Chains A and B, each alone.
Chain A
Amino acid sequence: MTLDFSIIPGIIPALLLGTRLTVELAVIAVAIGLAIGSFVGIGRVGSRRIVRTITGIYVDFIRGTPLLVQLFLVYFGLPQLIGRPVPPFTAAIAAMGINSGAYVAEIVRAGIQSIDKGQMEAARSIGLTSPQAMRYIIFPQAFRRIIPPLGNEFIAMLKDSSLVSVIALEELLRKGQVIITRTFRPFEIYMVVALIYLIMTLIISRLVAWSEKRLKVVD
């Protein structure tokens, strides 16, 4: 058995097409996650018990169940309820976005809670309302602290997006599999697929490290 990497150049364009979809999926998912997670994260530290309970259940459910199961619930389960099929791309970003929302919510919550409570007291002592104190004092400081963990969440989403290959969405992994059925070169092609993931995650983790260093100077 010999390795033959000569086929690689020919398949790169196809893999890059899949890579593009992978990146799209991760970016959209984290964007949705950020939107959901900001509200949920704030709700988690808010004063309303009912909001804290509901958001708590959401976060626990999402983080306590596999993304693959969540994906199946949306892709295979939801059509049974709504009476029509859910397109794979919609199902994928819905499942990934809702999943990411729970993790981002925890990042946002931790970011808010990491701010010294003297900051809130000082803000309230000059007469700012609670929403004003959040807006002008707590969020701007929390935001700097959540950028690095958000970068890590993006890396996680980039890798986990490979799960949606099972619903026939031709992202990077699925593209590789399709090519393997044609070329019968699983080792070489999976290696290239892995390398492409690695290059992307390395770039992002470097960016995260860089931003961490920069933000520390400001603090």
Chain B
Amino acid sequence: MIRTCELKKSFGTNHVLRGINITISPHEVVVIIGPSGSGKSTLLRCLNLLEEPTSGKVFFRGQCITDPHVNVNEVRREMGMVFQRFNLFPHMTVIDNITLGPMKVRGASPEKAKQIGLDLLKKVGIAEKENSYPSELSGGQQQRVAIARALAMKPMAMLFDEVTSALDPEMIGEVLDVIEKLAEEGMTMVIVTHEMGFAREVGDRILFIDEGLIVEEGPPEQVLAKPRNPRTQAFLSKVL
């Protein structure tokens, strides 16, 4: 579903990604781990072109989306993204946050969009908050709204960028539960996280990235429990 080919990204002289080749199959849950500054988030953000790759190619459903002729808006609506800092629209109610995309991008009627929104709020467990403003919600609730907002576009894949890093510890569980539910439903997901327990539970495959390269990849029981690469071992011994 998503494939990258020699993906590179530099910020000036800072080479953040130095040739990434990954293939993500439909319904697969890929978890990206690695030290801070290793390029995990940048990789994720290159997948939906929030960052423009310096070189290399990104394919989505067989189409090369780094081709300049491709309409990135059409690609992005098929790839939901959830951010570390929620990025809810503070001037809109919860339900308006969710219905904006379906209405303005998909052309859904207000009634249809609202129904989608209410169903999703129920799914993420905060149906009663539809008319609240984001500032009235806890961090965990805000992040669940952000997930609902992304799902409202009925995307084919979801990207999660350290979605629990800005949360108080007691709220992490409620957000991870939602993501797990999505995994069970077969959503294709790419997840950047520091939660190793969660990575093991939800991930079909783990990618360990360091200094802009994939150092090791494989099923969680192998990469997390019996890492082969010394750098993976060093990283895991620090975080586990």
Contacts and interface: CB of A to CB of B under 8 A. Distances in A.
Contacts of B141: none
Chain A interface category by residue count: 20 to 34
Interface stretch (A55-63, A105-113, A124-132, A191-199): A124-132
Contacts of A124: 50, 73, 76
Contact of A128 (B48, B83, B91, B105): B105
Contacts of B100: 126, 128, 136
B35 interface: no
Given A128-B101, A136-B100, A136-B104, A122 B88 contact: yes
A125 B89 contact: no
Contacts of A4: none
B89 A127 contact: no
B105 A125 contact: no
A146 to B, nearest CB: 14
A218 to B, nearest CB: 7
Contacts of A137: 89
Interface string A189-219: 0000000000000000000000000000011
A64 interface: no
Interface in A140-157: 140-141, 144
A53 interface: no
B80 interface: yes
A125 B149 CA distance: 10
Given A121-B50, A140-B91, A141-B91, A127 B83 contact: no
A125 B104 contact: no
A141 B76 contact: no
B149 to A, nearest CB: 7
A118 interface: yes
A91 to B, nearest CB: 40
Contact of B76 (A125, A144, A218, A219): A125
A201 to B, nearest CB: 30
Among A118, A127, A129, the one with the most B-chain Cβ atoms within 10 Å of its Cβ is: A127
B90 A128 contact: no
A127 B91 contact: no
A214 to B, nearest CB: 14
A6 B111 CA distance: 70
B15 to A, nearest CB: 22
Contacts of B149: 122, 126
B87 A116 contact: yes
A116 B134 CA distance: 15
A125 B81 contact: yes
Contacts of A141: 89-91
Contact of A219 (B79, B89, B90, B105): B90
A118 B85 contact: yes
A125 B47 CA distance: 11
Nearest to B79: A125
B73 A127 contact: yes
A26 B135 CA distance: 37
Contacts of A183: none
B74 A125 contact: no
A124 B48 CA distance: 10
B214 interface: no
Contacts of A119: 87, 89
A133 to B, nearest CB: 10
Contacts of B88: 122
A129 to B, nearest CB: 5
Nearest to B135: A219
A127 B85 contact: no
B153 interface: yes
A116 B83 CA distance: 13
Contacts of B77: 126-127
A129 B72 CA distance: 9
Among A118, A122, A132, A144, the one with the most B-chain Cβ atoms within 10 Å of its Cβ is: A122
10 contacts: A118-B85, A122-B88, A122-B146, A125-B80, A125-B81, A125-B83, A126-B101, A127-B76, A127-B77, A128-B104
User: Would you list the 10 A-B pairs with minimal beta carbon distance, nearest first?
Assistant: A127-B77, A122-B87, A126-B101, A118-B87, A125-B81, A127-B105, A127-B76, A140-B91, A127-B73, A129-B73
Interface of A: 116, 118-119, 121-129, 132, 136-137, 140-141, 144, 218-219
